[in-house]
Structure 1
Amino acid sequence: MEKQIPFTGILSNKAEENPDFFNWNRVKVRYCDGASFAGDSEDKAAQLEFRGQRIWSAAMEDLMSRGMSNADQALLSGCSAGGLASILHCDEFRNLFPASTKVKCLSDAGLFLDAVDVSGGHTLRNFFSGVVSLQGVQKNLPSSCTENLDPTSCFFPENLIANVKTPLFILNAAYDSWQVQASLAPASADPSGSWRDCKMNHASCSESQIQFLQDFRNHMLNAIEGFSTSEENGLFINSCFAHCQTERQDTWFADDSPLVGNKGIALSVGDWYFDRSSVKAFDCAYPCDKTCHNLIFK
């Protein structure tokens, strides 16, 4: 029996759930390659092939042949690894269309940071390094970055976003729950388990642990400082412990959805996409936001 993909949040076809995009043609490209559709390598001895970039190109070619080439408006969005894919492929997506088409990109929870973990190591950098090397990602990274930095650094969005020419909206929780769990305080960096309770429930964090998380938030704010100066770009950085907020109905558009400055995520993205207003929404630091839908780890 096939598992049905839920079309909720930004993918919903109901005006009451998705006021600005409900009547759009919506396509979800399933994530399958492990490198945000950027890999292209083959190891015959190990019987391994990674073809993320080719899968992306084939999917776009198919969609264009089915009528996407006639679109008046297009939005490339994704969350988590898909959010990184939206950044990596944003200008490539823009170039599929004629200049008359309104094209923008949205990255949800894709702002992975090259941050120091709780042991002083670089868990996520080590992980990304393996992905980039194994999958031959370097050839598909923008030369504007690789001419100045190593390939692994150029897989981190903080080193890419300044050079994206297409209007881009970054939506991210300042205390991204996946990054806290898998990047900042994974079991490998916390053998004593001193972060276990804090990861499960941020209300259990000690003062020093909260300060560590505040430093992570400051890293994120510093990473987007230059990006935020562009009038064409949009930002919504809320002080929640969450990961992926566009495809969940409760966070995208509901009566109790997260707010920054009395405006939720769906209306902020809509205002930005349709040029109704500039959107640069920065939340105050934890614990000020009482509208969050925080994720609890297990």
Structure 2
Amino acid sequence: MNLNGVVAVVLALLAYAARRIYAQNRLLVPMTLVQKASALGAFCLDGSLPAYHLHRGSGTGTDKWLLQFEGGGWCNDMASCLERAKTRRGSTRLMTKWEVFSGILSNNASLNPDFYNWNRVKLRYCDGASFAGDAKFDNGTSFLYFRGQKIWEAIIHDLLPKGLGHARMALLSGCSAGGLASFLHCDNFSKYLPENASVKCLSDAGFFLDERDISSNYTMRSLYRDLVSLQGVEQNLEKTCTSSLKLPYLCFFPQYALKYINTPFFVLNTAYDVFQFNHILVPPSADVHGDWSHCKQNPAACNANQLETLQGFRDDMLLALRGYDKSRVGMFINSCFAHCQSESQDTWFRDDSPRIHNKSIAEAVGDWYFNRRMSTQEIDCAYPCDSTCHNLIPKP
């Protein structure tokens, strides 16, 4: 074997060893089914019991709690909900019974310096309406539960006697559809906890815009309208918000709900969120000829007109977030092409994690939660200025 061959073998062995070490060091947390959920009428789409994963805090973190809503899109009609009920997005029977906790859920102080020893909980998502619906469907042949609101309540009531009810500090967070759930349940969460507790909320990639797509249609608005109607969500939306709008279902959009949230809130989002790029700005229905396919797969392949459209989307997001007092709303809006950055260790906190003004996401969130800095609103310059980005673009 020549020298190059030896080097290749050594590198392969080192890579294998690194993967083994990583696998052995991963924090795997078992599932807890909420056995009393049936008494509250709290069921997943298929009628299975809701669930969560809890990793107990230690030391100074025993009276501190971090709850993380799982994400995973939505279903807005019977066909999509019936299909979803047959998957892990609609049934705890089909979910993994152990979950890896990383990023904001990690128990490693060097990887999650502010929250590593807190009680950390991942709420499994199985209702298809960001934990906000309260209805059911039964035509004699098919049956579906739309009980996201009751799932939320059942999980909270299961956690309160386990220590949540005596929390001194708490953070309600979520990613994607779970990030949207953080907006919907933030103030309600604070009402369950002691009056003297420090309670705050965080949304990661959940600031979905009410935006026209490239064909001038409100594709996302149509999806949310049907979802709110089907799953009985409107009754659980913020009442002041719904009474102030001619279309009450719009309060499902964070940009309309945020100003009515009293609990301190942190918005973590990319200005070029790849989910919103693919489903709000340029959904398949608006790009039937695939003119945007190369741009979606690689931002460097976008032409001048496409880049102008993307910059317009960023401008609209920043406009929707403008004017909030820094003491009430913190934010980290970077210019990466990604979706969800708090649960992945690569983007949450590592030497090469994304940064704004040399501050990582974990540092920005920690500074905001613990009031360590005066400025808690970090906004990136426009693409392609940020060389720290991890562009996490899903393969087509």
TM-score when scaled to structure 2? Answer: 0.73
Residues 38/2 of structure 1: CA separation in 2 closer, same or farther (3 Å cut): closer
1:28 maps to which residue?
122
Q: CA deviation at 1:3?
A: 4.9
Letter of the structure 2 residue corresponding to residue 8 of structure 1: S
Q: CA deviation at 1:94?
A: 0.5
For residue 308 of structure 2, the aligned residue among 205, 211, 217 is: 211
Letter of the structure 1 residue corresponding to residue 211 of structure 2: A
Q: Does 1:42 align with 2:136?
A: yes
> Structure 1 CA distance, aligned partners of 2:144 and 2:111?
42
Match of 2:269, SS state, is strand
Match of 1:179, SS state, is helix
2:109 maps to which residue?
15
Q: Does 1:241 align with 2:337?
A: yes
Letter of the structure 1 residue corresponding to residue 334 of structure 2: N
Kindly, what percent of the aligned residue pairs are identical? 57
Match of 1:160, SS state, is helix
2:69 maps to which residue?
none
**Structure 1: 5+ residue stretches without partners:** none
Q: Does 1:166 align with 2:260?
A: no
Letter of the structure 2 residue corresponding to residue 148 of structure 1: S
Q: CA deviation at 1:218?
A: 0.6
Match of 1:147, SS state, is helix
**Structure 2: 5+ residue stretches without partners:** 1-94
> Structure 1 CA distance, aligned partners of 2:198 and 2:327?
16
User: Deviation digits for residues 78-112 of structure 1, max 9, x if unmatched?
Assistant: 01011010111000001111111110000000000
Preserved CA contact (<8 Å) 1:162 1:226: no
2:155 maps to which residue?
59
User: Deviation digits for residues 182-205 of structure 1, max 9, x if unmatched?
Assistant: 221121110011011111111111
Letter of the structure 2 residue corresponding to residue 14 of structure 1: N
Q: Does 1:90 align with 2:161?
A: no
2:290 maps to which residue?
193
User: Deviation digits for residues 164-212 of structure 1, max 9, x if unmatched?
Assistant: 0000000000000111012211211100110111111111111100111
Letter of the structure 2 residue corresponding to residue 94 of structure 1: S
Q: CA deviation at 1:126?
A: 1.0
Match of 2:248, SS state, is coil
Preserved CA contact (<8 Å) 2:271 2:317: yes
> Structure 1 CA distance, aligned partners of 2:344 and 2:384?
22
Match of 1:159, SS state, is helix
Residues 145/205 of structure 1: CA separation in 2 closer, same or farther (3 Å cut): same
Preserved CA contact (<8 Å) 1:40 1:50: yes
1:104 maps to which residue?
200
1:282 maps to which residue?
379
Higher relative contact order (CA 8 A, sep 6+): 1
> Structure 1 CA distance, aligned partners of 2:370 and 2:327?
13
> Structure 2 CA distance, aligned partners of 1:25 and 1:176?
29
Larger % of strand: which? 2
> Structure 2 CA distance, aligned partners of 1:215 and 1:59?
40
Figure out how many residues of one structure are paired with residues of the other and give that number: 297
Preserved CA contact (<8 Å) 2:166 2:194: no
Preserved CA contact (<8 Å) 2:114 2:366: yes
Tell me which moved more, 288-297 or 266-275.
288-297
Preserved CA contact (<8 Å) 1:132 1:151: no
Q: Does 1:156 align with 2:253?
A: yes
1:292 maps to which residue?
389
Residues 3/196 of structure 1: CA separation in 2 closer, same or farther (3 Å cut): farther
> Structure 1 CA distance, aligned partners of 2:199 and 2:161?
18
